[in-house]
Amino acid sequence: METPLRIALFVLVVGVAATYVHIYLYRRLFRDTSASPGWRRAGKVLLTLLCLPLLLSWVVTRVIPSAFIVAVFSWTWMGVAVYLLLSLAALGGVRWLVARTRGHRGIAAPEPALAAPPTLAELSVTAAPVSPAVDEDRRRFLARATAGGAVLAAGGLTGFGMWSAFHPPVVNEVAVRLPGLPKALDGFSIVHLSDIHVGPIIQRRFMDELVSRCNALKPDLVAITGDLVDGTVKDLGPSVAALQNLRARAGTHFITGNHEYYWNASAWADALTGMGIHVLRNRHVSIGDAGGAFDLVGVDDWSMRHGAKGYDLDAALAGRDPSRAAVLLAHQPSNWDVAARAGMGLQLSGHTHGGQFFPFTVAVSAIWKHAAGLFQDGDRHLYVSRGTGFWGPPLRVGAPSEIVKVTLLAA
């Protein structure tokens, strides 16, 4: 369970970072590009108005759920700000490198080839100092060119990222040999969805399209590995109810992610059960019949492992025949090594979003050992989904959303 101290520390760190980013953007986009007091004042007001909702959005949306749309606007700006920051840094780096190669910043330019001594007239021209006004105009021109280029680059990346986020998820198909799977179930298919994040933007229209795409894959079973919602049952129930239209002979199965706990995981578990979805909270069920079956195991989110009701793999495996094939649904890939040793031939997870958009794609790959995709250790497999929707900034750059069709093969 997240403690108030951890939450406060997180908010403080993010708040300080966001404040410094906005100060930097003000300096590069407004202060450096004009000496006009009105222009600079407008920049301060604008960036303050953009920064404050961003700082408050995480707390406000938990106190006033109806204010979530304001948070979405703020998170969209967060994505734009990230790309502005990167673009300004990149263009500033280019300017610095050019300055160094031209002999600026205290490094002498290359000596010219020997030539005739300069004339008195040439010496007088060379010795003439550069006018401060000319130098200031040059710096202002470069600052405006850099700011303009950064705005264009950030706008282009943001536009592409938003298009990608709202574009239908790609379908990735993988085949996995599952130890112990009966021959009768060879070719059994699972459609894996994760991190849909139904909320103020992803609503019924998106869900209906998603259900249609899943049904077209003709799965035997649908698995949803958490972070389905960002809101209350009252607000999002009608949108989530689209899942009742999923068609799979072994049904639709769901486990909690960390976001369900932000919006009352128990209430959502009850609501999904009422929609005919099998909610696996630290338990397992048998999939198949007398001709062949395997165990589908589901655990609560890993981040809740210290709470009264949270991740408990031992409880989920209690009473299970260890000789049977098993597939584990776990929101986070954190405990794959332990799960594999416990006999889980395949684990389906999400949570990471694959970073969702650059540069966080790089950060997530550095932080998570298993960031996205299919991993194998001996005869054990793990698939980490990049997510089917998005969270926070409606952006997908370098990590498109996905629907995963997993075909189980008899070993």
Read off the pLDDT band of 5 (50, 70, 90).
confident
C-alpha to C-alpha distances, 18 to 32, 171, 199, nearest whole angstrom: 20, 35, 24
Strands 278-279 and 292-298: unpaired
> Rounded mean pLDDT of the chain?
89
Question: According to the model, what pLDDT value does residue 356 have?
Answer: 97
List pLDDT tens digits, range 352-372: 999 999 999 999 999 999 999
Distance CA 178, CA 381 (A): 8
Q: What is the pTM of this model?
A: 0.86
> For residue 67, what pLDDT is reported?
60
Question: Domain 170-410 is of which CATH architecture?
Answer: 4-Layer Sandwich (3.60)
pLDDT at 287 over 90: yes
Question: 40: closest CA among 51, 52, 29, 53?
Answer: 29
Strand partners, 223: 192, 253
Q: Which residues, 6 or more positions from 298, have their beta carbon under 8 angstroms from its beta carbon?
A: 253, 254, 255, 279, 280, 281, 282, 283, 284, 316, 328, 329, 330
- In the chain, where the domains are located: 4-164, 170-410
How many CB atoms are closer than 10 A to CB 56? 17
- pLDDT tens digits for range 307-354: 557 899 999 999 999 999 999 999 999 999 999 999 999 999 999 999
Direct distance between the N- and C-terminal alpha carbons of the chain, in angstroms, rounded to an integer: 39
Q: SS3 for 69?
A: helix
Residue 60 in this model has a pLDDT that exceeds 70: no
Tell me the per-residue pLDDT of 178-212, one tens digit each, with 9 for 90 and over: 999 999 999 999 999 999 999 988 999 999 999 99
The first and second tokens of residue 60, run together, are 């406000």
Of 14-18, 47-51, 228-232, the range with the lowest mean pLDDT is 14-18
Do 346 and 382 meet the contact criterion of CB atoms below 8 Å apart? yes
